[in-house]
Amino acid sequence: MVDEILNVENLNTRYGSIRAIRRVGLTVKAGEIVCLIGPNGAGKTTLLATVAGLLNPVLGRVVFNAKDITGWSPDRVLRSGLSLVPEHRRIFGNFTVRENLLVGGVTQSPEHRENLLDEMLTLFPVLKEKLSTPAGYLSGGEAQQLAIGRALMSNPNMLLMDEPSLGLAPVLVDVVFDLILKLRDTGRTLLVVEQNAQRILDVADRAYVMRSGKIVVEGAASELAGREDLFDTYLGGSGVAA
Ligand SMILES: Nc1ncnc2c1ncn2[C@@H]1O[C@H](COP(=O)(O)OP(=O)(O)O)[C@@H](O)[C@H]1O
Ligand SMILES: [Mg+2]
């Protein structure tokens, strides 16, 4: 129990009459990279948004660090050490890179915020030269690094990442995957939604496959990576989910 940092139990979230996720259960242990894969519309974003407090479940529980955080506001979830890198990045285009990063650090003391900012510029050197640039002018890869940096500015124990490599050129996809490993090495726990199933299975410890709002398969990532049937049945055949 002690080493389970996140425990999702029987989670159900609706949009009106649409049951987007149904009876979802998953666990993440401290220090793990766990990935969540599955076709478009499976409910992956809904699950992360519910865990992060952006949506309220109709049923079920989210336990983080042995605390029941179900129904907590996004701000309170963030302060408890769980941070979301949202789908499509959602950075503030009119704010500078520096301002975007500082917004991510609102939960921190001013002094700690400056230290974290320095840390982010070491982690993402590309952002250093663009500190005064409005984020709307960044390339896709830079914007994704900013989105991850902003989430890290709250100094979280655990990061939820929603499609971090989506829309990036191959070389930048490599940057994102290198970063995922680097974050694990610094002691962060990661739950990552990825459409590039083969790549994420290569770096993850364990994986869950979702379809139509439910978890349909779970297991060691190395084992799932070798299962052709999985790709044919759930992930569109190519190793990259549709
Ligand atoms: N804001 C919304 N309002 C109504 N239905 C939604 C909304 N967002 C997602 N859905 C529906 O919920 C289901 C799960 O969507 P989503 O969680 O975005 O899936 P994924 O991230 O796996 O592509 C889909 O059927 C989708 O159409
Ligand atoms: Mg999604």
Residues with CB under 5 A from ligand 2 (ion): 44-45
Fold type of domain 4-90+157-233: Rossmann fold (3.40.50)
pLDDT of residue 242: 42
Q: State if pTM tops 0.75.
A: yes
Cα–Cα distance, 176 to 161 (Å, whole number): 11
Three-state DSSP at 206 gives strand
Q: What are the pocket residues of ligand 1 if the criterion is a CB atom closer than 6 Å to any ligand atom?
A: 15, 18, 20, 38, 40-46
pLDDT of residue 237: 61
Distance 103 CA to ligand 2 centre (A): 24
Residue to substitute in 12, 13, 15, 163 for testing ligand 1 pocket (most ligand atoms within 8 angstroms of CB): 15
Residues of the chain below pLDDT 70:
1-2, 237-242
Tell which residue, 45, 30, 131, has the closest CA to residue 85. 45
Tell which residue, 32, 85, 6, has the closest CA to residue 204. 32
Cα–Cα distance, 37 to 165 (Å, whole number): 13
pLDDT of residue 37: 96
Cα–Cα distance, 209 to 42 (Å, whole number): 9
pLDDT of residue 112: 92
Ligand 1 atom with the shortest distance to the CA of 163:
21
Q: Which ligand is nearest to the CA of 210?
A: 1
